[in-house]
Amino acid sequence: MTKAQKDNLFLLVKSLTKSEKRQFKLYVGRLGVNTDSKYLNLFNILDKLSVYNEATILKSGIVKKQQLANVKAHLYKQILISLKLNPSHQNIRSQIREQLDFASILYHKGLYKQSLKILDKAKEVAIKNEEKNLAFEIVELEKIIESQYITRSISGRADELTVQAKELSEANVITSKLSNLSLQLYGIFLKTGYVKNEAESKWISDYFYARLPKYKIEDLGFREKLWLYKARLWYSFLMQDFLNCYKYSMKWVDLFYQNPNMIKLNPVFFLKGNNYLLESLYFLKNKEKFAESLRKLEEMAASKTFPKDENVEALSFLYINLNKINLYFIDGSFEEGLSLIPQIESDLKQFSDRIDGHHIMTFYYKFASLHFGAGNNKKCIEYLEKIILNKSLSMREDLLCFARVLNLVAHYEAGLDYHIDALLRSTYKFLIKMNDLHEVQNEMIKFIKSLDDIYPQDLKKAFVKLHDTLIEFEDRPFEKRAFLYLDIISWLESKIENKPVAQIIKDKYLAKYAS
């Protein structure tokens, strides 16, 4: 890991666009005395460096070693102030906060009526845009001013503010409880993946309903509904209830289309809702709705009205491309999907500092699965090894587990059986350590372990026997998760029928899902 990845100031400077750099220099240059300042000179050096190098900075002579920390801190602050002034970083929230600051200044100067006038307008904007935390702050400042009897307001004003404060407080409490629950469930999902047994299912169910606040749906505003749908979505995902995943992700997305002004204010939540909608449709194998939802998402993300910043661009890239790959998994069009890999891999480098390691490994698993489905087993192994050999990341346990199981199968398919015993042992030890050795994986490992003892003429019978064993698990609630990551049933059927696995999946899709 290079220092460039560790130095926050360097990363901030490198994240600036050309227009942001230009504005920073204009901002600094508004006072002539700043044009030769230490922090501006430091900015110019950092801008030219490709990697952070403290020795190069000190060698330039612009700052002494004992001064460097203070100059860097000052530069960091000045860049943030400059960015705050940039119109591209100003939204409804920042505008409301600015008005709140103005009102506070006027209050402290004794201009109470002017302060209250600004607060009243800001509160109206905050409530209209579902910024209820800010609206509550505004009401609290209004109460402070009114409580001093300095405006001689009408007698009903106290009651009006009290009612507003109570309503906003109750809405904020519900939102806080729902957002906490959603975040906690998401954390559990990232750590352990789907529920694995009855005990986990009961624990998650008890956990969810114990923390779900009481509510009446008709009393909830946009923000409360958004967090409610998110919490219910994550509960449904953990329970592998994909119909309810679809239901609540659809409610989430529709909520934005019913309130289009909220898309501009909350583009990240809009993108996430669409991603979960697509994930639900992927698990339900509804290719028609999936393709239509993906098309709508791409059109919205590319539209001129959709907000554009580094975070939104990275998330758009992540969600659109993961789901472009998933489209080919639905009906087994693996060969067609391979054409996506080079461009996505190239773009991943551009977004590497904005996409977390877990999602990069998810892309690698998708690439590996595409190659496996297309019969390119050695390429599949290359991508899986990027996951298996990565010791620095804390990833979802189920992704790590199935990467190893797929790695075993790919080695067998590629004829790389010279160290299959070592792979079997390491995979078995890993699954035991993760407490993830379920029936499907257990049967797979037993089967691969026994291959040396099976005569070539009996191999097809062995595949049929394993297929008959595993098919019983396909509809079991806590075993079917294995088939979400690796369609081992279709692979076995490809061996039995002597057909490519892609053809098996396509035939099954056409028979069951195609209209």
254 in a structural domain: no
pLDDT in tens, 144-191: 888 775 555 556 777 888 888 998 998 999 999 999 999 999 888 877
Same structural domain for residues 57 and 125? no
pLDDT computed for residue 50 by the predictor: 85
pLDDT computed for residue 397 by the predictor: 65
pLDDT computed for residue 149 by the predictor: 57
Q: State what percent of residues in the chain have pLDDT above 70.
A: 90
Residue type, 446: K
240: pLDDT strictly greater than 50: yes
pLDDT in tens, 474-498: 777 777 666 776 788 888 888 888 8
pLDDT in tens, 105-152: 988 888 888 899 999 999 999 998 889 889 999 998 888 888 775 555
Same structural domain for residues 74 and 119? no
pLDDT computed for residue 151 by the predictor: 55
Task: Write the DSSP string, 84-106.
Answer: HHSGGG--HHHHHHHHHHHHHHH
Nearest CA-CA partner of 267 in 229, 326, 331, 316:
316
Q: In terms of pLDDT, which residue wins out, 448 or 19?
A: 19
**Average pLDDT value for the chain:** 85
25 in a structural domain: yes
Where does the pLDDT of residue 1 fall: very low under 50, low under 70, confident under 90, or very high at 90 and above?
very low
Same structural domain for residues 66 and 141? no
Residue 13: domain span: 3-89
pLDDT computed for residue 89 by the predictor: 65
136 in a structural domain: yes
Residues 415/430, Cβ–Cβ less than 8 Å: no
Separation CA 270–CA 267 (nearest Å): 5
Count of domains forming the chain: 2
pLDDT computed for residue 36 by the predictor: 60
Where does the pLDDT of residue 208 fall: very low under 50, low under 70, confident under 90, or very high at 90 and above?
very high
Residue type, 150: I
31: pLDDT strictly greater than 70: no
Same structural domain for residues 85 and 113? no
Last residue of a domain, one of 89, 104, 137: 89
Torsion from C-alpha of 504, 507, 513, 515, nearest 10 degrees: 160
Last residue of a domain, one of 153, 175, 201: 153
pLDDT in tens, 256-273: 999 998 998 899 999 999
Same structural domain for residues 74 and 102? no
75 in a structural domain: yes
Least confident of 76-90, 334-348, 388-402, 494-508: 388-402
Task: Please tell me the pTM assigned to this model.
Answer: 0.77
4: pLDDT strictly greater than 50: no
Same structural domain for residues 97 and 32? no
485 in a structural domain: no
119 in a structural domain: yes
pLDDT computed for residue 2 by the predictor: 39
Same structural domain for residues 78 and 133? no
The sign of the dihedral angle between the CA atoms of 205, 211, 216, 220 is negative
